[in-house]
Amino acid sequence: MVDVGIVFRIINIIIGCMMVVGGVFVVFGGGFPSFIRGIFVLIFGLMTILFEFRLPGKITQYASFMFSFLGRGLFYIFIGCIVLDYYTVGIAFGAIIVIVGIVYCILEFFSSRVSVVAPSNMQKDTFFESAGAATGHSSGVGVNDRYDANPYANTATNFGPPPGGQPYQPQQAYTGGVGTGAV
């Protein structure tokens, strides 16, 4: 029996190659905006291929959407629509990329019913391992546990407590002595 994870990996590699070729067509589509879009499609195609062989920790922090069928499907639809606009080969590759993206989006919601398991490089556990390696967190607990241990890590400034060790406590707002006649 064929391992479904291998099939998904091969599909993702083929889609990545189609992105690279489609990106070349977009680069030569004419004009500076097409050139910039094409460069991005090339980079995303190479990133898609790279993710099938190796998961660079720093990149996975910012590309967590690649670790689910829905995220990858929406990504493929977006890139496919960019490629869809240039030349016959670009239109064909763009349409295939969009179709695979739609199938991935559908699999997100029906994978448990048809017992389809995403390949290891598209699972959240792999994301946490890879992102943990990028942040230097290797204690064996999830990346989110690291932030939960530090109550100041999720603040907007992320500077931690002040030097005295006690967090800042806002003062009660002066209400003007409600009902006392104070102004």
Give the tens place of pLDDT for each residue, 10-58.
999 999 999 999 999 888 877 888 899 999 999 999 999 988 888 777 7
Is the Cβ–Cβ distance between 25 and 88 less than 8 Å?
no
Residues in the chain: 183
User: What separation in angstroms does the CA of 143 have from each of 101, 106, 118?
Assistant: 28, 28, 21
Q: Is the pTM for the entire model greater than 0.85?
A: no
d(CA 121, CA 10): 12
Q: Give the confidence band of 79 by pLDDT, cuts at 50, 70, 90.
A: very high
Q: Collapsing DSSP states into helix, strand and coil, what is residue 162?
A: coil
